[in-house]
Structure 1
Amino acid sequence: MLRFLRGLGLFLTLFMPLSSAQAAGDLLVAPTRLILDGSRGTEVVLNNIGVAPATYRISLEIKRMTAEGGLDEIAEADATAEERAALDMIVFSPRRVTLPPNQPQVIRVGVRVPEGLAAGEYRAHMLFRAVPDAAPVTEPKGASGGVSIAITPIYGITIPVIVRVGDLSAVASIGEAWVEETADGAAFTFDLRREGGRSVYGDIEVTRPGLAAPLLTARGIAVYPEINERTVSLRVPPELARTLKGPVHIRYSEDREVSGGTIDAVDRVVK
């Protein structure tokens, strides 16, 4: 088993695409999204890709999607009944791990759906946060004395853990699309609408009629149940922004690791 995990850790580090694994600092997490239906559990693999041992703490938190596609962290005291239910029913172990370099660790995740829970999609976000080493206290150097402050960045990764109860469905539709200049640079922007009892999640591909190669692809575009519509803004280089103007075909498809089936596809004239 240990030999398998080490081999898996090497595979994750070298070959797994970023859409299937997420990295921050020296931590690699895969997969980046969990869906549970109550019948069986699943696993998340952590891997320390740094050169020194590191400790990570695992916890659950509530996040809500905004109309701009961001995720706002919500205090547990402000959580809805559905959000609190997600925190209560998702179980995982271990909650703290120390990993040597290039050492993977499996986190087992399960769900305990209470009897009589209403059908719907319940979601919490699993946070993997680095625990900084305790820095030794040192005397300030120099005759002037004073206070010396060392700042240690603390990084973390969050992934959604989704529990689906009952027979749920959803559809999505692509609205208008345009190219705009934002504070962060040029962006290809479009509206994405959702209807139904669960989230939608998939990939975007923008092509020009008559050309086989896509102009733009983006993976992991989601609309969660707390909103019905969001604006998707994808940063692009200025030269690509100019190319995207005019007639294009936009396809929103399910994740390739699921089925790759089309969720919606439209023709638009981008201005």
Structure 2
Amino acid sequence: MLKFIKGLRPCVAAAFAAALLPAAPAAAQGDLLVAPTRVILDGSRGTEVVLNNIGAEPATYRISLEIKRMTAAGGLDEIAEADASEAEKAALGMIAFSPRRVTLPPNQPQVIRVGVRVPEGTPPGEYRAHMLFRAVPDAVAATDPAKPASGGVSIALTPIYGITIPVIVRVGDLGADATIGEAWVSTTADGPAFNFDLARTGNRSVYGDIEVTRAGVAEPLLVARGIAVYPEVAERTVSLRVPPELAAKLTGPVRIRYAEDREIGGGTIDEAERVVK
């Protein structure tokens, strides 16, 4: 998941770009590139996440873990640790990483080592935290040196950019399935959107790609990568913003296919024919 932080913490999701572009091996925001965009740990082995500064100037990033909880609308709410469930707190304790702060010259990659330690007796299940890579702004003078001093105080607002990726720990023998529900086109303040309900069963998350096709049309009408339903919700609504000309083509009879990520085979999770209104 991508997010943009301006000032303190306001976020703007990048779902539109993720829905309409082909899957990429890395997430980018500002001048930071992060790969992979999703980490799954089996409870014993660790892995690596690679950061790369694609800007023209050196940049410093702080790395931390935070708790996010999925909503029925598909968003991710940040949860304070004091309000976290026992499973969410357990995830924070299982996941270790190093370093926690890096300064990257331009085009210089940096490996973040991610490890996991599952305490003995941990109940089977999926445990998840989100790793935040947050830019640290340079220290600058609050006043503009080009302006004469007036005795007042001026405040400089600096945009702060960051990326979050889910880090998932799976303990025990887990499984899940998904079912595609009703589909419809709606009009939002940001333009048309293609919507459908996606239900999950089982004891772990589901994650995959959506492809919408129509009989007699060679190319898919819509492809959306990286659609997840996390264990805290049994059903969510997927809403994908689309251009007006595509929204018109999506109404009527279509076939919606939800498939596993292509990196693990791309097998069909569910497929359904729907008449979109």
Q: Same fold (TM over 0.5)?
A: yes
Matching residue of 1:183: 189
Please tell me the residue identity of whatever aligns with 2:43. G
How many equivalent pairs are there?
255
For the 8 Å contact 1:19–1:220, the answer to whether it is kept is no
For the 8 Å contact 2:143–2:153, the answer to whether it is kept is no
Higher relative contact order (CA 8 A, sep 6+): 2
Distance in 1 between residues matched to 2:91 and 2:207, nearest whole Å: 19
The worse-fitting range, judged by mean Cα deviation, of 31-40 and 142-151 is 142-151
1:30-69 to 2 correspondence within 5 Å?
30-69=35-74
Please state if 1:160 is matched with 2:161.
Answer: no
Aligned CA-pair RMSD: 1.3
CA positional deviation for 1:145: 4.3
Distance in 2 between residues matched to 1:207 and 1:234, nearest whole Å: 15
For the 8 Å contact 2:131–2:167, the answer to whether it is kept is yes
Matching residue of 1:23: 28
Please tell me the residue identity of whatever aligns with 2:50. V
Matching residue of 2:127: 122
For the 8 Å contact 2:142–2:154, the answer to whether it is kept is no
**Structure 1 residues not aligned, in runs of 5+:** 1-16
CA 1:143–1:200 in 2, change beyond 3 Å: closer, same or farther? Answer: closer
Distance in 2 between residues matched to 1:121 and 1:80, nearest whole Å: 13
Matching residue of 2:198: 192
For the 8 Å contact 1:209–1:248, the answer to whether it is kept is yes
Please state if 1:262 is matched with 2:268.
Answer: yes
1:135-174 to 2 correspondence within 5 Å?
135-138=140-143, 141-142=147-148, 144-174=150-180
CA 1:55–1:118 in 2, change beyond 3 Å: closer, same or farther? Answer: same
CA positional deviation for 1:150: 1.2
For the 8 Å contact 2:212–2:257, the answer to whether it is kept is yes
Q: Deviations over 1:228-269 (max 9, x none)?
A: 000000000001000001110000000111110000000011
Please tell me the residue identity of whatever aligns with 1:267. E
Distance in 2 between residues matched to 1:98 and 1:142, nearest whole Å: 34
CA positional deviation for 1:137: 4.9
> Paired residue for 2:221, among 215, 219, 226?
215
CA 1:147–1:119 in 2, change beyond 3 Å: closer, same or farther? Answer: same
